[in-house]
Chains A and B, each alone.
Chain A
Amino acid sequence: MSTLRLDRVSRWFGNVVAVNDVSMTIGPGVTGLLGPNGAGKSTLIALMSGFLAPSTGTVDLDGEPLWRNEQVYRSVGLVPEREALFEYLTGRQFVVANAELHGLADPGAAAAASIALVEMSDAQDRTIATYSKGMRQRIKMASSLVHDPTVLLLDEPFNGMDPRQRIHLMELLRTMGAEGRTVLFSSHILEEVEQVARQIEVVVAGRHAASGDFGAIRRLMTDRPNRFVLRTDDDRSMASALLAHPSVRGARLRDEGGVEVEASDFGRFSEALPRLARDNRVRLLEVTPTDESLESVFAYLVSA
């Protein structure tokens, strides 16, 4: 059982702040690191894997520093995002080399077991240059699991995987988490994260925006004010009917036509809208959420 701890960590590159005063504790089980592209997820993973020094604050694994401490790699496995591998090796040669570098007693057996775990046994004797994106991802995974680490860090592991590979990797991560390993993976897709991770850490623009199980994160997202644009055959009647309803915080007639609505309770609003329209004899032509993009959800989380 291992615990990664970040204490008031900031990291900047010149004038750019990539990680801003982040404190988090990553314990056993699967944790998802969720955030839009450029939020600082890769920087955080580099900090957690000893490949970057924090500008301020501390990062440690069970009390041991990660920076300039190669001994931590006995218990840490890292799956980097970059695809570059030793192209001229076969998959098996690559994983065996990783096992040897870890000083394992039987590198061949450890490599074979690890390759079987990621279902790459059939392609293990082809050179890596011939691998598809998904296969590269899996052979990287095999190389980082070969020494049976207690901590596994994966940077955007689902990128470039087809649905079947995705399901398989999710299953694998769940198993590793259930075995008591500390597994952390980054992603910019909420659905991906909540299918695997028990615990979710949200980062936006370098800040730790939210933390909790997926239920808590979902609630934060659904309980927020929702904005919609309605197109109707009688905007003014619709707007006044909406304003009278308690689930609505505001309604505004737009210059270009249509009603802009801000709902405070998404559940009740979605039930009330069709009823209000029918009761007031207004035809609803179109209902468009205006801020469903992930960025706006994150923006909300940050300001909350």
Chain B
Amino acid sequence: MSAPLSRTVVRLAVRSVFGRRRGILLFALPLVLVGLAALVRVLVGQDSDAAQDTLNALGLAVIVPLVALLATTGVLAPEIDDGSISYLLAKPISRHTIVLSKLVVAAACVLVFAAIPMLAAGLVLLTDVPGLGLGFALGAVTGGVAYCALFALLSVQTRHAVVIGLLYLLIWEGLLGGLLDGVRWLSVTRWAGAIAQEVAGGITLVPDLSTSYAVLATAVVIVAGIWLTGQRLRGFNLTGDE
């Protein structure tokens, strides 16, 4: 039985995220968030509605999933694409250890490049109400990690994980989520919103969605995503296309 985490896989994953050009995007996204928050503050001052809208529509709905998508595909997709993941897989370590180690790195990215910037943006927008930023930061962590698990599963299922991930965000979470109320039951972003509103207190982002359901659904996605990704890696085909 091997340990749940492998330091070597973690180390390689960190270099894989930042060793590529798209690692720069991870630094750009939080700058956009905090920059726009500063702009809103300058233009409308300390306004509760404007603050909520910015953190929800830009932060939870755009920045968090994008950071999760970039980080997760960064640690998995390139190695699967070029087959170099075989060097990790041809080792006597559990596939779930490999997945978990890679996702720890992706989750750390979510914390650094999404959750902490959300806290900062919250403080910039409403300096007098630190609870707002804190709530959104926590929502960013839970939603971001759930997105990581989801995109990890996508990365081992298809070679077009980034494109499909973006389409999913745009169509399901964005378009349909805005039009159809029922989508909230199956929307990571709305679960994150429900958790954020509970922690922040006094705001309503997602009506009619209980916090306990949101927490449970988020947990199920995280656990199931990690488990299924590991299972998929156990049966990895090196030459699928001869």
Q: Please list the residues of chain A having a beta carbon within 8 angstroms of any beta carbon in chain B.
A: 13, 18, 38, 40, 42-43, 46, 49-53, 67-68, 70-74, 76-78, 80, 82, 84-86, 88-89, 97-98, 100-103, 143-144
Contact = CB atoms under 8 A, between A and B. Distances in A.
A77 B95 CA distance: 18
A213 B2 CA distance: 42
Given A51-B236, A88-B19, 7 more contacts: A13-B240, A43-B239, A51-B90, A82-B82, A88-B15, A88-B16, A103-B2
A76 B93 CA distance: 13
A52 B90 contact: no
Interface residues of B, number: 32
Contacts of A78: 86, 90
Interface in B71-96: 82-84, 86-95
24 contacts: A43-B242, A46-B239, A49-B238, A51-B239, A52-B239, A70-B89, A70-B91, A78-B90, A80-B83, A80-B238, A82-B83, A82-B84, A84-B84, A85-B87, A86-B15, A86-B16, A89-B12, A97-B8, A97-B11, A100-B8, A101-B8, A101-B9, A102-B92, A103-B2
Interface centre among A67, A76, A86, A89 (most CB of B within 10 A): A86
Contacts of A84: 82-84
Contacts of A144: 90
Nearest to B240: A13
Contacts of A70: 89, 91-95, 234
Contacts, number: 89
Contacts of B86: 51, 78, 80
Nearest to B82: A84
Interface centre among B19, B84, B239 (most CB of A within 10 A): B239
B46 interface: no
Interface in B185-242: 234-242
B12 A97 contact: yes
B54 interface: no
A70 B93 CA distance: 7
Contacts of B90: 49-51, 73, 76-78, 144
Contacts of B7: 100
A75 B25 CA distance: 41
A72 B236 CA distance: 15
A103 B8 CA distance: 10
Contact of B92 (A73, A97, A100): A73
Contacts of B83: 80, 82, 84
A72 to B, nearest CB: 8
Nearest to B6: A101
Nearest to A107: B8
A198 B98 CA distance: 38
Interface centre among B16, B82, B87 (most CB of A within 10 A): B87
Contact of A89 (B15, B82, B239): B15
Contacts of B19: 88
A46 B82 contact: no
Contacts of B15: 86, 88-89
Given A53-B235, A86-B87, A74 B240 contact: no
List 3 tightest A-B contacts by C-beta distance, closest first. Answer: A84-B82, A51-B238, A88-B19
